[in-house]
Structures are given as structure tokens and as C-alpha cells.
Structure 1
Amino acid sequence: MVAVYAVLRYTSDLSGFRAGTTLLHGMYHRIGDHLARLPLGWYSGGRVGKVSVLASGGVLQAMGVIAHLLSPFISACVTPLTIVVVMLAFQWQLGLAALVAVPIVAAIQVWTGRSMAANDSARAEREQEATGRVIEYLQAQPVLRAGGRTVERFQSLDDSLQELQRASRRTTLSALPGVVGLAFVVQGVFTVLLVLGTYLALGGNLGAAELLAILVLAARCADPLLSLADIGGKLRGARAVLARLDTLLRTEPLPEPREPRRPEHHDLSFESVTFRQGDRTVIDNLSLSVVQGQRLAVVGPSGAGKSTLLQLLARFYDVDSGAVRVGGVDVRSISTEVLMAQIAIVFQNVYLFDGTIEENVRLGRPDASDAEVRAAATAARLDEVIERLPGGWETNVGEGGALLSGGERQRVSIARALLKDAPVVLLDEVTSALDPLNEAAVHEALDHLMTGRTVVMVAHRLGTIQRADHVVFLDAGRIVEQGSHDDLLRHDGRYAAFWTLGVSAGSGSTSSAPGVKGV
């Protein structure tokens, strides 16, 4: 029987681990695929911290139930019940006395679970908030150090950690009555069995050997029953995590078209587009078209909705009314895969994944040949960067590209876009934070990227705007002026004032000009 038990226990544990790791692998893929389909607006409101907790410890906790808790939980429930059945068969009085403990133990578990539910939920919220604050604290290091606050405590982080500590204390205290109550019940029932068994043995109704065997079995019940408190708490925590995972996975992504269409051309158009974020109207009944192969520059004050136009083109959001079209086809009628194949995006703040330069460039088109990757790097002036780096193509860029300068990261991003070879290019203030040397190199790379493609660029550098065929001046989500650069200067309106302020700044940028800060 010992040998059989050993084989069964080994098989059970191995099966649990395999099932747990399989579900863990599948859950990570499912979460990743789902997050990639959610609109960008969903990621506001502190959800980064919540997703971080769920995708790390949360998923491990939930999936660990199968690998670590399922077998002990079954054992803790089945072993005492089996022993009670055996006791009933051999001595019904003692078995009946032991059976009385079953509903009491069940009631304690239910009561403990209910009393801990609210505290578990509050603790989970505090943990998510604290995680978000830790991420914020790490990201805010340059600002804190620039403000001379490296020695001071980060108050918001301290407050969130203290709230987490208080929530954890409340959770522990709410579990304490159940743990103590369960211990009293187990010890009390054992005492009753001891007294009752002694009485029966002295009366000749039970032999000493039988009494000793039953008491050993009763003592064997104690450990599994007492472990129920710990296992039950972990199961409740896992259940709460599963509920949050279910909520995340039930969040509606942007809908995919039932009968997707593929655009045949690469002209762009906005038709009476209105887009709101909360109570704020970001784009207000805007109509605009970009001819295939044309370069459009979008300028205007901060908050005018410039970057939102690019995001609507890439369908990071869906419009509230109107339509955004690529090649005459509404972007909502194009599958995400096809739409993303049509568009290459270069952002102002470039994010590089922790890996080599070559791995980051190949994200544009993973199946590209080495010759194509090198050609894209040369066109983006990235080859100059690679030549002076000790590791060359194998240089690790660090998390977020932290080991490269801003200009170097931008060249990697442009090389990635060149390698993708998409017919539509979206540029979001690409050169706004570059020094003159890097700006010149990036402009040359952009010329390669824009050649023969339909381009929409959000810009405030005057040199970038001059490369456009058509200029749109945006304010409060509406087009105030549009036309060619020369025509708008002759019109002497908002754009002309914008241009004059930029020229007077003397650096080709209007970022410090009054009234157009952060354009």
C-alpha cells in the first residue's frame, strides 16, 4: 500500500505541475493577445499597475492552485471524512461524535471566507495601487533628482505602501478568529472522543486496542483540518485573482470586421470625424483628405488633437461619428493585421525592447534578409551608430533603449519603419527633442522613409514642416487653416504667426514661443 501510495502521489503531483504550467503558458498568451487588441484609452487610470500585478504574481497565484493547492485541499477534505466513515463502521458512538464536527468546520470556513472577502478585495486594490506607485517612482527618478529630492521620501509611494500595510493587517486580523475557532473545534472534538472512548472502554463496550486505534485515527484528522484554514485563504485569494482576470479578459476590444476589406490604394481621408475622450471633444467634425504619395504636416498648439489624428488613422481608437478611411475603405472594415501592414509609425518617444539593435530593427519585418536589414540601417543612418559601438549589431540597447541616446533610438525606429516598407507613414514629432547633429541625420533618414509614400507628420520643427506638400493648422480639434506652406504664409493668419514665432526663436523650433508651447 505504501508503494502504491508513492506511485499515485508522484503521478498526482507531476500531473498537477504539468496542468498548472500548461494553463500558465496559455493564460500568458491569452492575456498578451487580449491586451494587444484593447484600445489605448483603456490603459489610463492606473491600469498599468493592475495589469502588472495580474500578469506577474496574480497569474502565478491562480495557476499555482492546480500545481500546489489542489492535492492538499482534496486530502484535507477527504482524509477526515474517510476516517469518520471508518469510525462509524467500527464504533458508531465515536463516529457520530466525530461527525458532529463536520458541519461546524464547514460553517467556520464559510464564515471566515465571508468576513475576509471585503478585506481581500481592499488589499488587492491597495497592492495594485502600490505597484503603480513603484513604477511611477522609478520612472520619475530624473524629475526627482532634478528637483533635488533624492534624499526625501516619495510621499505618494509612502502613503500607498502604508495603506497596503494597513489592508494586509486587516486581512490577517479578519482571518484570525477563523483560525483560532477551527483549532478549538479540532481540539475540542478530540477531547470529546478521548473522554467518550475512555468511558466506553471502562464500560466494556470497547477494547483498549480499538480505542487506541481510533484515537490515532482521530489525531490523524487534526493536521488536515487545521491546514484547511491556510489552504482556504490561498484558495480565496486565487479565486479573487481569477475574478479579476475574468474581468480583464471580458473587456471588449475594438471589434474586428466580419467581412474584412483590403484597401487597394493608399490615400487617406477623414469624413466628418468627431472623437471624444470622456467629456472632452478632441476632434470636432473634422474633414480632411491626403492624396496618395502626398506629405501632410499637421501643426497647432498643444492639445489641438494632432497626435489623435495619427492614432485614429492607426485605429488605436474608434471614432464617435464619421469615418476614417485608408484607400477609400473605413479602417473599421479592415482587419487589424492588414491595417498594420499598411502603416509604419515613428513616435517621438521611441521605445526599444531589451535586446540587440538587430532584434529591434527586425521587429519591422522579422522575415527580412540580412541584406535588407543592413540596407534599412544605412538609409536610416543607423550604420554610423553601429560602427562606433563596441558590440556592433549585437549591442544590447537596455530596457526601453536606455543604453542609447535619443537620436540613436530614433534612428533604430526609422530603420525599423524602413524595413517594414509600409505604403503609409505616420510621424509624431520625430525630431522635437534632438540636437542639431542628430536632427540633420534623422531628417536625411526621414527623406528616405517618406519617398514614394503617403505621409502624415505631426511637426513643430520648421525644417520638418517645409518638407510637406500640404499643411493643416489644427486648434481645438478643428481645422483653422490649410494649404501649402507658401499660401498659408501669404494668407498671414494663424499659421503665418506660428511660422514667424518659430523663425524668431532662431533655432528652428517653436517649442518656447508664447502661445504655441509644446506644438
Structure 2
Amino acid sequence: MISRLQKKYALSEQGAKDLFQAIVYSVLANISLMLPVALLAIVLDGMLPVALGTEDKMSGIIWYTIAGIIILAVIFIFHYQQYTKAYIGTYDESERRRITLAEKMRTLPLSFFHERDISDLTSTIMGDCAGFEHAFSHIVPQFFGALISTGIVCVVLLIMNWKMGLALLWVAPVAFAIVILSRKWQEKLGKKYMNARLTLSEGIQECLETVQDIKACNQERSYMEKLDAKMDAAEKAQISSEMVSASLVTTGQMILRLGLATVIVVGSSLILKEQISLFTYILYLIAASRLYDPLSGAMANMAELFGVNLQVNRLKEIQEYPLESGQTEYRTNGYDITFDHVKFSYEAGKAVLKDVSFTAKQGQVTALVGPSGGGKSTVAKLAAKFYGLDSGKITLGGIDIAEIDPVALMKDFSIVFQDVVLFNNTVMENIRIGRKGASDEEVIAAAKAAKCHEFIEKLPQGYQTVIGENGSTLSGGECQRLSIARALLKDAPVILLDEATASLDVDNETQIQEAISKLVSGKTVLVIAHRMRTIEAADQIVVLDKGVVAESGNHDTLMNQNGLYRKLVDLQTEAANWKLV
């Protein structure tokens, strides 16, 4: 049972145990609420001897009072245990789930994040996990508890008198059938609402990220109208989903109440025929007043469970996504990077790299150039095993990187991408991310090598200055230099630089190139740059065009070939000489 709950709702083992115990105590709590009904029946049954004077009145009252106190204690104990397991257990499981999701995403390949939008993932971690808390504290235990406890009571009532039992219970399957048979309809509307909510979330995130451009283009009114339309669509989808569920549940609950009428009619008929006693008739009337409430609650919970399944499935997609694996311990013969007939595509049927072969040798600088969209950044990402290949092979020191664990492989790479990521922390800690445990002196040395030291010293608290989310208090060039310092601190045998000098002015760019040149010795350096002058001194230049290697060689060789590289250099020279007239 525990393993089934664990699999169905993507729970941890402890979470499944807590849920099972919550269901058990929900059953006991619901059954305990029938004990006062039983006591009332006993009291009514005992009233006749007291009225006739054949039994001591005071003695009966004492025993009934003691029994009532015991029943209250039992009700309190079961409800307390049910609350502890359902609520406290759920919140503990929610904590474990968020940590598990974070750990899972830390080990997922980048292809997963290419397939999923960031706002979608944020919605899953925050919104779906919050929905999980509500579902497993307020819905799931109560639903199963109500069904099981009601089923037990129903069996007892049918055994006592099957005619009165049927009169009381015939409405239950009819009412539940209305909700169950409309499940696909409700799930369809639930998915529609979820998609509308995700679209709205994406719109809000986009608005926050691009607010500067929106204002600069004077598009506030136009953009807000589009965002309002997304809000209206999400609101409409939510209302439609909830209206349908509420209508079906209300209809079912109305049908449940017909059971009381049938109990009255059938019970009156059986009394007239002297087939049941007045006491039995009253007992079933009392049972009807108590039994339909948990069934009504179970019906409402069932409708919510359909939505819960959508959230659980979204969480399962992350938890069950296949991980990349490989050797955690490996020994390379140097650090040459070789691309051997590599083919790759982000989307099936749309090849980004069609047939790429070259070798970036250790101790040399290999530059990747070419028109935009030629696959330069993709090559750098594939070298670090951010994605799996469609075909071909990439080796590091003679070892196929497909056989190496991605986390272990990254120990040999220092990477600076054109999109710099900094954290809302101090300058010192942002650089120290490159190598955990590095001393302050080592961090400062890396900053000096990356030409950061001078502007860092001018900050309010120097290296202890908190730079805001993604370096919001720094310029683009300063952010990029910190990213370079981080990579230099790591001091890995392979360095990947993707547009590493894109945000730097000419003066700083020259200084950074000098700093990088000092670190090339004995390392494999792969550089991507649009500015041709930045890679003129590279040992090897690989020209990529339309997913293939169009040319390769050093600067002088490629210039003499009069091919694509020469054309790109000439175009940039012409652009550099352009001026306003």
C-alpha cells in the first residue's frame, strides 16, 4: 500500500508512510464521530426501562456520562493524530519534495532546460508544490478516510437491515457516478486553466525582464493590453474549470439528500407493516443525518483530486527525467578536444551541426568564428557535454566524453559565456564560486589578472560589496570581467570563452586578452568571438557556416585563401571605418 501511494503521488518513502497513517486516522476519526450516534441509540433504548421505573435513573445517567466522556476522549485522540499526520507530515514532505526537485534539477542535462520554460519550472516548484501541500493536508487523506469509513458504516447498516440500508445508500453510487463520469471533461478544463496560467506567468516574467526595452520603445500601453488579455484568459479558464466542478459536485450533493427522503418513505412503510421497530427507524434517520456529510466532502475532494493529478504529473516529469551518467573517475592522455563528425540538433529534424570535425590542441588557442547561427556557441556547449549528440563523437584527451559523468567532467572546464550570471552576494563570493575554498588572496589575484581589481577597490565596501541580483549595480563590462575572474580562479585545464570580451571597451578588451594569454600555457583554450581582431593571434581558427566546418587554419593562411574568413574580416574592417556624415 505504501509503495503504491509512493508511486502514484511521487512521494518519498516517509511521505507515503505519513499519508497512509493520515488515511488510517481519518478513517478512525470519521468512525469515532458515529460513536455519539451509537450512544444516543443506547440512551433511547434505555429510556423505556427508566420511564417504567424498573431501573435506577441515577445509575443510568452516570454510566451514560462516563461513556460520553470516553467517546469525547477517543474523538480527540483520533482527530489529533489525523491532524498531525495529515498536516505536519505533509509540510515535512513538501520540504523534502522541494529539496529533492532542486537536487534533481542540479543534475539534469541542459537539454531539459531547453525543453522547459523557466516560468513553467518556477510554477512547478512554487505553485504546484503549494498545491501539493493543500491537497495532501486537506484533500487526499480526508477523501480516502471518508470513503473507507463510510464503507464500513454502510456494511454495518446493510447487515442490520438491508432494506433500510438500501434506502439510505442508493443515492451514493448515483451521486459519485456524476462526478466520476465527467472526469475527462474536468481534466480538460483543468489543463486549459493550467496552460493559461503558465502563459500569464511567462508574460509577467517577460514584462519584468524587458521593462527597460518596453519603456524605451514607448510600448507600455500596448504591452499591458496584451498582458491584461492573458490575465482575462487565465481568469476565464479558472472560472470555467471551477464552475463545472462546482456544478457537478452540487448536483451530486443534491442527489445525496434524496436519500433522507427515501429513508423516511421506506422506513414509514416498514413500520406500518411492523417489519422494523420505531427505534430502528430513528437509528437510520440519525445515521442519514451523519452519513451524508462525509460523502458530500468526499465528492468535493474527488473533484479536486482530478486537478491534483495534473500537478503530480508535472512534478513526476521532473523527478522521472532521465539523468546523464558516466565515469566519475577517469584518466585522460592530455586535454586535446576532438570533434569527430559531430551532428547535433536542438529540435528533431532541424540540425544545427551537420558534420563538424576538428581538434583543439592542448597548449593552443582554437578560435571559432563564422556567421551568426553557424553553431559556434553550440560547439562550445557540446564540448562541455551540456547536450547529448545526435551522432559522432567528442573526446577529451582520447576519452569519449559521453562515457564521463557530466559533474566530474566540469572539473576540467573553466567557462565564460556571453550571458553572464552573477549572484546577489559580495564580489568576493561571486568570484570564489570558481573554486570553493579559495583564499581571499587567491580571489584577489584572479581579480587582478582579469583586470577587475581597480574598479572593485572603488566600490563602497570593496570586495565585500553586495552587487545585487545578477550584478544589477555593475556595468555589463564589469560583470563580464568578474565572470572571467571566476573562470581564471578555477584554473582548469580547459578554458571555454564564448564572447568573453563582448561587453568590454577596446581598452579593457586588450587588457583581458593579455591576462588570458598568460594563462594559455599548457591549457586547451576554445574561444568564440565576433570581433576578428581579437582572435588574429589564435593558433587555429575554425570557420563554421551552416553547421559545417567551412575553413580552418591560422589567420594568415585563411586570409590568403580568400574565402569566408577573409570576407568576414573585410566586412568588419569596413564596419569599423563607418562614421556619421
Contact 1:407–1:442 under 8 Å retained in 2: no
Contact 1:259–1:333 under 8 Å retained in 2: no
Alignment of 1:109-120 (within 5 A): 109-120=179-190
Question: What displacement does 1:340 show?
Answer: 0.5
Alignment of 1:272-351 (within 5 A): 272-277=341-346, 278-351=348-421
Q: Which residue identity does 2:293 align to in structure 1?
A: D
Would you say 1:495 and 2:565 are equivalent positions? yes
Question: What displacement does 1:165 show?
Answer: 2.9
> What is the distance in 1 between the residues matched to 2:159 and 2:88?
38
Alignment of 1:199-218 (within 5 A): 212=282, 214-218=284-288
Question: What displacement does 1:416 show?
Answer: 1.5
> What is the distance in 1 between the residues matched to 2:463 and 2:137?
42
1:263 counterpart (328, 332, 341): 332
Q: Which residue identity does 1:489 align to in structure 2?
A: M
Q: Alpha carbons of 1:269 and 1:91: their partners in 2 closer, same or farther (altered >3 Å)?
A: closer
1:14 counterpart (60, 84, 88): 84
Contact 1:462–1:499 under 8 Å retained in 2: yes
> What is the distance in 2 between the residues matched to 1:359 and 1:237?
43
> What is the distance in 2 between the residues matched to 1:290 and 1:44?
27
2:175 counterpart (105, 113, 118): 105
1:50-108 superposed Cα distances (whole Å, 9 cap, x missing partner) = 32222221133235433332332234324444544554466554333112233223323
> What is the distance in 1 between the residues matched to 2:217 and 2:340?
46
Q: Which residue identity does 1:168 align to in structure 2?
A: Q
In the alignment, structure 1 segments of 5+ residues that lack a partner are: 513-519
TM-score norm. by structure 1 comes to 0.87
Where 2:185 maps in the other structure, the secondary structure is helix
1:9-28 superposed Cα distances (whole Å, 9 cap, x missing partner) = 22332223444244334433
| Worse-matched range after superposition: 309-318 or 364-373 | 364-373
Would you say 1:77 and 2:147 are equivalent positions? yes
> What is the distance in 1 between the residues matched to 2:79 and 2:333?
62
Contact 1:262–1:338 under 8 Å retained in 2: no
Q: Which residue identity does 1:269 align to in structure 2?
A: T
Q: Which residue identity does 2:331 align to in structure 1?
A: R
1:383-420 superposed Cα distances (whole Å, 9 cap, x missing partner) = 33332222433433333332322122112211211221
Q: Alpha carbons of 1:370 and 1:201: their partners in 2 closer, same or farther (altered >3 Å)?
A: farther
Residue number in structure 1 paired with 2:468: 398
Contact 1:271–1:288 under 8 Å retained in 2: yes
Alignment of 1:52-63 (within 5 A): 52-63=122-133
Q: Which residue identity does 2:399 align to in structure 1?
A: V
Contact 1:46–1:132 under 8 Å retained in 2: no
Alignment of 1:228-243 (within 5 A): 228-243=298-313
- Equivalenced residues, count: 508
Residue number in structure 1 paired with 2:52: none
The alignment's C-alpha RMSD in Å is 3.0
TM-score norm. by structure 2 comes to 0.79
Q: Alpha carbons of 1:13 and 1:445: their partners in 2 closer, same or farther (altered >3 Å)?
A: farther
| Worse-matched range after superposition: 472-481 or 423-432 | 472-481
Q: Alpha carbons of 1:171 and 1:326: their partners in 2 closer, same or farther (altered >3 Å)?
A: same
Alignment of 1:82-481 (within 5 A): 82-85=152-155, 87-88=157-158, 93-154=163-224, 156-197=226-267, 212=282, 214-253=284-323, 255-257=324-326, 261-277=330-346, 278-481=348-551
> What is the distance in 2 between the residues matched to 1:383 and 1:173?
62
> What is the distance in 1 between the residues matched to 2:491 and 2:272?
94
Contact 1:431–1:461 under 8 Å retained in 2: no
Q: Which residue identity does 2:441 align to in structure 1?
A: A
Question: What displacement does 1:329 show?
Answer: 1.2
1:179-220 superposed Cα distances (whole Å, 9 cap, x missing partner) = 222221222112332444456667777676665554333222
1:121-160 superposed Cα distances (whole Å, 9 cap, x missing partner) = 2222222233223222222223222211123334554444
Q: Which residue identity does 1:270 align to in structure 2?
A: F
1:442-476 superposed Cα distances (whole Å, 9 cap, x missing partner) = 44543455454211100122442134222222222
Where 2:556 maps in the other structure, the secondary structure is helix
In the alignment, structure 2 segments of 5+ residues that lack a partner are: 1-70
Question: What displacement does 1:306 show?
Answer: 1.0
1:228-280 superposed Cα distances (whole Å, 9 cap, x missing partner) = 23311221111122223323444444x42369643231111112222234333
